[in-house]
């Protein structure tokens, strides 16, 4: 009988310690990310605290590529309250084949992009970048094509998903 009581006590102690340590773990926030920009610097997302963040997976050879112009307009018009961030990816139809420097040149030359762009990454699949894993966990949705968008609230707690067909201007109108 003593053995069973001791075993029960050990199980309860283990369970309490496990629950306690799990409850102490901090849930990851958008502000915990540090990601390489398209020009090679590391960008600390804690710098975006207090602003809404619009994250877009982009591609240079897509039917939605003209949205770069709309993203730039939203960036210019709402930069005090909204940070636009572009994430080139070659996951859909091979529509982003270029290097980071080629992508940066394309965006600047063709669309005057000034908002932050990041190093090319996988936004879906086996090598999905942790940022897009986090976004998927928050919304239950991952990009289905180029130019899908995620809008994150100023406090980093609310995340909304918008498909490629939603123009960035439509999202900005709701701010």
> Would you name the residues annotated as active-site residues?
62
Q: CA-based Rg of the chain, rounded to a whole angstrom?
A: 21
Q: 82-88 and 52-58: which strand pairing?
A: parallel
Of 124, 135, 117, the closest CA to residue 30 belongs to 135
Contacts of 44 (CB under 8 A, 6+ apart): 34
The first and second tokens of residue 83, run together, are 């940070």
Extract the tokens encoding 94. 């091979």
């Amino acid at each position: 009988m003593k053995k069973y009581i001791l075993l029960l006590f050990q199980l309860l102690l283990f369970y309490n310690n496990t629950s306690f340590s799990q409850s102490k773990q901090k849930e990851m926030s958008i502000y915990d990310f540090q990601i390489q920009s398209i020009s090679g610097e590391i960008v600390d997302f804690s710098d975006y605290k207090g602003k809404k963040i619009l994250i877009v997976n982009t591609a240079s050879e897509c039917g939605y590529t003209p949205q770069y112009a709309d993203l730039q307009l939203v960036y210019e018009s709402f930069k005090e309250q909204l940070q636009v961030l572009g994430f080139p990816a070659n996951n859909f139809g091979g529509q982003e084949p270029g290097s980071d420097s080629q992508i940066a040149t394309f965006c600047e030359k063709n669309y005057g992009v000034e908002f932050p762009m990041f190093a090319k990454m996988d936004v879906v699949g086996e090598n999905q970048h942790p940022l897009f894993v986090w976004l998927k966990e928050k919304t239950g949705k991952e990009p289905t094509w180029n130019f899908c968008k995620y809008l994150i609230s100023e406090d980093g707690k609310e995340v909304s998903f918008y498909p490629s067909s939603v123009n960035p201007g439509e999202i900005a109108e709701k701010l």
